[in-house]
Structure 1
């Protein structure tokens, strides 16, 4: 199967100027009827639950594609897909994986040495960690010497 570029080159080689003119008119018509202009980018917005709900509303109430919705609200198509298919960004939970990733990226952009982790609710005591910290584990590493062994 030939590509459009190969087809156009073949038309040129055979001197089919009328077909080339027709092809150019079809391209112009396609450019005029596009809803999303190529190579035009907006500054990305911060994803919020409100923006995620707006994306879901647009998806449910219109026949717009994900790319068109993304262009309209100012995010990329991948974010729109995450909201529609996986329900991401719909909660205000600061510990949600997408919120943590966003905060880390923002911290890197600001040049912070390490982003602060949000406080996690206390779940279980750390007795298992304390037991393991008292004695070094040497099982499974027979080929490695420790400085005190010599």
Structure 2
């Protein structure tokens, strides 16, 4: 199967200027009718317990897919899956793993330095084993 560019080159080779003119007119018509459609979602909504409950409600009461639910509420499909399968974001607990991860990501975006970790505790060296020698078959 030839590409449009190859087709155009073949028309040029054979001197088919009328066909080239027609092709150009079709391109112009296509450009004139083409519109720039807005993105499906400009910015994702912040995941909240209320939004998570709305996702669960849509999942339970409709036959919508996760992708359709995500588009309707303004989040990505992965977030919908986390709510449905793992019950994430259903509490307002700031210490929940997803809330902690969100706050860390926001801090990285703001360029805040990472919190310093506590100094590691000294580890005790394991006791040294002394060479006990080899056992011979006759020793047993």
Segments of structure 2 that go 5 or more residues without pairing to the other structure are 2-36, 130-140
Q: Is residue 109 from structure 1 mapped to residue 109 from structure 2 by the alignment?
A: yes
User: CA separation of 1:76/1:140 partners in 2, compared to 1, >3 Å: closer, same or farther?
Assistant: farther
Q: Which has more radius of gyration?
A: 2
Superposed CA deviations along residues 16-41 of structure 1, whole A, max 9, x for unmatched, are xxxxxxxxxxxxxxxxxxxxx9x734
TM-score, reference length from structure 2: 0.55
How has the CA–CA distance of structure 1 residues 69 and 42 changed in structure 2, closer, same or farther, with 3 Å as cutoff?
farther
Q: CA RMSD in A?
A: 2.9
Contact map agreement 1:42 1:71 (CA 8 A) in 2: no
Whether the aligned pair in 2 keeps the contact of 1:107 and 1:115 (CA below 8 Å) is no
Matching residue of 1:138? 125
Secondary structure of 2:47 counterpart: coil
Alpha-carbon contact 2:66-2:81 (below 8 Å) kept = yes
- TM-score, normalising length: structure 1: 0.52
- The 8 Å contact of residues 55 and 69 in structure 1, kept in 2 or not, is answered as yes
* 1: CA distance, partners of 2:96 / 2:53: 17
Give 3-state SS (helix, strand or coil) of 1:75's partner: coil
Please list every run of 5 or more consecutive structure 1 residues that lacks an aligned counterpart in the other structure.
Answer: 1-8, 10-36, 117-132, 143-150
Please name the residue that 1:120 is paired with.
Answer: none
Q: Equivalents in 1 of 2:128, 2:108: separation in Å?
A: 37
Structure-1 residue corresponding to 2:76: 76
